[in-house]
Structures are given as C-alpha cells and as structure tokens.
Homo-oligomer: A and B are copies of this chain.
C-alpha cells in the first residue's frame, strides 16, 4: 500500500474546490491519511467557520469506519443499529453526508471530508474530491 501524500491530498482538495465553485457554495475540505490524521485542510473564502471542525471530523469518521458518512447516517438514526455512535470518540463521529473514504488498489488509504453547504452540496463536492485521487 502506498501512503497518501500531501500531493495526493492537494489534488483531492483542488477537485473539491473546483466542484464547490461550480455549484457556487464555498466549502471546507479536509483530507486525512490512513491513521485518520489530518494531512491538509482549506476553508474557501466565505465558508462557514463552524464547518472547519465538521470537515475534519467527517474525513476522520469516513476513515475510522471505512464508510461514507452518508451511509453511516442510515445506520445511526434513532432505533438503528448504530444509534448513539455520534457520542463516541469524544464527539468526532459525524453522521451526515460529506465524508468519503479514499481508496487506492482496493485499500482505504485515507478519507476526505466536506462541510459548508446542504447535505447534497457537501456530498457532490466530496464525490468530486474523492474521484481525483
């Protein structure tokens, strides 16, 4: 497995920024590596300050469980099998769309997290970002 590099992270972030610009919604975009540790983060001009933490933790969550936060959300609602997981890990688990694992040669080597718009906007930006790895 080749490790995710800063150059990888920048390519992922740039693709996310481009998609965010296309849809007219400034975003926070963060990338973590295989250990879940932050590699790079950007907050586009005008993006929400409350989304700094959320973008980083969406990325962390997607790597921590090797699942998109959108899919995790489906299992984390009241009465679902993982309901309450958002209280674990000192509040780092994000259970709404925008976090996606980054995969190379069928191995998860990190994740991207996007926050700054609606759930649909965050998801489309995260998909564009993840696609650039």
Which of A's residues lie within 8 Å of B, judged by CB? 1, 3, 5-6, 9, 33-45, 48-54, 57, 60-61, 63-66, 73, 76-79, 81-91, 93-97, 118-120
Among B35, B39, B44, B87, which residue has its beta carbon within 8 angstroms of that of A91? Answer: B87
The answer to whether B39 touches A36, judged by C-beta atoms less than 8 angstroms apart, is no
Copies in the complex: 4
The answer to whether B83 touches A73, judged by C-beta atoms less than 8 angstroms apart, is yes
The answer to whether B65 touches A82, judged by C-beta atoms less than 8 angstroms apart, is no
Among B36, B91, B120, which residue has its beta carbon within 8 angstroms of that of A49? Answer: B36
Smallest Cβ distance from A36 to chain B, in angstroms?
A: 6
CA distance A51 to B92 in the complex (A): 12
